[in-house]
Structure 1
């Protein structure tokens, strides 16, 4: 079975319970396959990154396989505003940055005849555009599993910045660290590359986007800009290192 998210920001949970851990969020317009159904919950697999979790049955709309395939084959179109609205048929629905508007042009899916008049972004953008997008998330509060300017985690931040520019990377920092070309030194990096950080056990636990002149933008407490050196992230407020550098990856050559 196939479905689409018809609400703004829907939680995807580890277990079928409102009290369960938030693993990620499903934004308006995102599609997915249904793996298992219960009375009140469905286990789903997101189309964009294969992430799995449980979603409330009241928070999505079923679509046919044909409709699902049409949406997948169409070039993605995203909301480029921090917050805007889709309207139509006495409906006023808020949508956030990164919401997927691709399905709106398919009348058999967009049965409410929803219209979006805000700014959009589509197609593959130059690598130089990554930081411009990243700055839109500045000061967004840290939220484990979050994907929006109203709450976002470190890997959700990097994934959404890349996605909005037409590049699809995995959801988790440990997964993102497995792709791309490793660099030996910070000096070899350029703006838009990803820096990964590990814990005492050697597990990748954090990721950020490298800026020019040894700065980094990342989600830690909030989306913020700090210094980056060969040891890791140097907090500009405290003057202390907060994360230990493990590897730098060039995702876009």
Structure 2
């Protein structure tokens, strides 16, 4: 039953989207997830039961549709016209947060497996190598994790279990710093210079690795936030004039 307190489109919109998880479910669909397990891998802290409930609610409200699947295969979820029309709002929410309230990750924010999954979601198809390339990702520090990126244009997949094949590239990195890089808070070159990333493998492949990913989604908003902080610090440090 409706729970909005007054006859207002904002109230109804909050009723549909105003819980912790629903906008994040839409985010996963926005970046290409379709199957239930795929969506859940992007939201590992959300229970599968709750995800099923949110998907049913979104379908009921007409924001997503579920395509029937072949026997023995999972159904596929896609955004409807109504769901696609709300994606600018979800992006705008992220841009606002990046500019005004986002900060460096705390220990509890660092989740290495989620980060590796985000790498795969941020892969730019046309930048990936044509020849199959296996990348061993080793993340250290809070959120430490290990997985493999199986790369061959136009796709990148994530393997949690050792594929028992020779890897072409090994990337050992601090999980916190890789989170910062992927969100556009720090350049990749700075991570190399500070030793937060070490790459072992053929030099051309090592140089190409960071170019496979789009790290610009929130970069402009984060840069505005940094400029504002720098200006505030300068103003505070400036001597008073009389």
TM-score, normalised to structure 1, is: 0.31
Point out the structure with max Rg over C-alpha.
2
Higher strand share: 1
TM-score, normalised to structure 2, is: 0.32
